[in-house]
Amino acid sequence: MWLTKVRETTGQTVDVDWQPFSLAQINASPDEELKVWERPEIIDGSDTTLLAHQAGLAAKRQGKEAFEAFFWELLKSRHEEKKDLNDPEVIDEALARSGIDAGQFQEDLKDPDLLRIIGESHTRAVEEHGAFGVPTYVFPSGGSAFIKMFPPSDEEAGPIYENLTTLVSEHQHVGEVKRPQPPWPHGVI
């Protein structure tokens, strides 16, 4: 939502290559024998824990524009409407609102290879970028950061983006910045 505001208010192109990262896996017990994407109930579809990731990858197969339309609808469903992205009906609603080819989407969603892609993406994020949560941004410089924030005002969206990009990309000595919580700083939410 924030990056869309950056695009809209500054005219700046913010090109993001969204990749799957499984919170279910990062929060799984270290004693688990199988990774989330390897579990039989995930593979057979009876557990929808990775459904939004699979759906995003299915939408990506229709191109960047289609993916962004679908992904935007998922973001609105989750962050504005507070809906559960593990619910197939929520995915179907986002699909309908996005306007992408539903038949192709449903066909691509059945591809079992999507789980392999999710696993590889998650593993790469952890091993190469130290990801532990979402959203973790990886900048062109290779710097990465988990950035927790609420959508800023239109006036603040661009400057925050510029400042964070500079901080993460150019100042490698900054290891962590965290505001004490609760409460989140007064007046923000």
Domain chopping of the chain, boundaries: 1-21+134-189, 27-120
Q: Residue 136 pairs with which residues in a beta bridge?
A: 146
Looking at residue 14, its pLDDT comes to 83
CA angle 110, 111, 112 (to 5 degrees): 110
Tokens of 182: 């609760």
**Residue type at 99?**
G
SS3 of residue 60 by DSSP: helix
Query: Where are the alpha helices (H) located in the chain, listed in sequence order?
Result: 2-10, 23-26, 40-43, 51-60, 64-75, 88-98, 102-109, 113-129, 154-170
Looking at residue 137, its pLDDT comes to 87
Cα–Cα distance, 75 to 114 (Å, whole number): 20
Q: Is the dihedral of CA 53, 59, 61, 66 positive or negative?
A: negative
CB 75 within 8 A of CB 134: no
SS3 of residue 144 by DSSP: strand
User: Which mean pLDDT values do the consecutive 10-residue runs of the chain (189 residues) have?
Assistant: 86 88 95 96 97 98 96 94 97 98 98 98 95 89 84 91 88 80 66
pTM above 0.85, yes or no: yes
Looking at residue 45, its pLDDT comes to 95
Looking at residue 163, its pLDDT comes to 92
Give helix 113-129 / helix 51-60 axis angle, nearest 10°: 100
Q: How far is CA 150 from the centre of its chain?
A: 15
Other beta carbons within 10 Å of 48: 18
Looking at residue 26, its pLDDT comes to 96
